[in-house]
Structure 1
């Protein structure tokens, strides 16, 4: 189950790196507008600083998850799993907040939270059966 958890943590990390790219580097592009429902240039400019900052939150969570994979693969499993759980658990918590507070964004919340959920479940099972 540890390997399964690492795979899902990697997928979650990669997805969050992509979200970072959309929010921090490609904000205002056709792809980011479609993904986040930004309708016009004024809305892009009003939300640019917020999106830039939010993108970095996503990047830092991805770094924690990916660093955890590297550390676990290098032999420090307890530290690696801890880092993966911090990263993916935070991703999952953010997805749950979005799901509960924004009914119109439930599809996005599900997309954002699926890999972290599967990572957390797999990693906790790996810890329990150990």
Structure 2
């Protein structure tokens, strides 16, 4: 895998670590939950269990991407790219489910898509 593709894998992995922090650790803060279109504390309390779970999903994707790079070799890179494919798919599902989330979906999906394209072409 090219160094440029690896850079985008790292960016995608670190982004998903940041989302884990927001969804699983900081979700009770209004400035955090409002980023997820949650309007108030009542909605936050209803959404908190799924956000906590979703945060760990994002952490596991990050672990696959970053861990695959650290492991290296064909198998490690395959794990990293599979994680990127899952991240890209989740971003596509996000925008398909709610058009208001287009910016968040692009931020989530663009780095792993670039990693996949660059890994396939370079």
Fold equivalence (TM over 0.5): yes
Q: 1:87 aligns with which of 60, 68, 83?
A: 83
For residues 102 and 124 of structure 1, the distance between their equivalents in structure 2, rounded to whole angstroms, comes to 30
State the Cα deviation string for residues 28-58 of structure 1 (Å, max 9, x = none). Answer: 2133123212221101100010000000000
For residues 44 and 101 of structure 1, the distance between their equivalents in structure 2, rounded to whole angstroms, comes to 19
Secondary structure of 1:104's partner?
A: helix
The aligned residue for residue 2 of structure 2 is 2
Asked if 1 retains the 8 angstrom alpha-carbon contact of 2:30 and 2:40, the reply is no
Structure 1's unaligned 5+ residue stretches are none
Asked if 1 retains the 8 angstrom alpha-carbon contact of 2:4 and 2:118, the reply is yes
Larger radius of gyration: 1
For residues 15 and 35 of structure 2, the distance between their equivalents in structure 1, rounded to whole angstroms, comes to 13
The aligned residue for residue 24 of structure 2 is 24
- TM-score, length of structure 2 as denominator length: 0.94
Q: CA RMSD in A?
A: 1.2
Asked if 2 retains the 8 angstrom alpha-carbon contact of 1:20 and 1:59, the reply is yes
Asked if 1 retains the 8 angstrom alpha-carbon contact of 2:91 and 2:109, the reply is yes
Q: State how 1:115-126 maps to structure 2 within 5 Å.
A: 115-126=111-122
Give every structure 1 segment of 4 or more consecutive aligned residues whose post-TM-superposition deviation is greater than 3 Å: none
The aligned residue for residue 110 of structure 2 is 114
Structure 2's unaligned 5+ residue stretches are none
The alignment of Structure 1 onto Structure 2 pairs a total of residues equal to 122
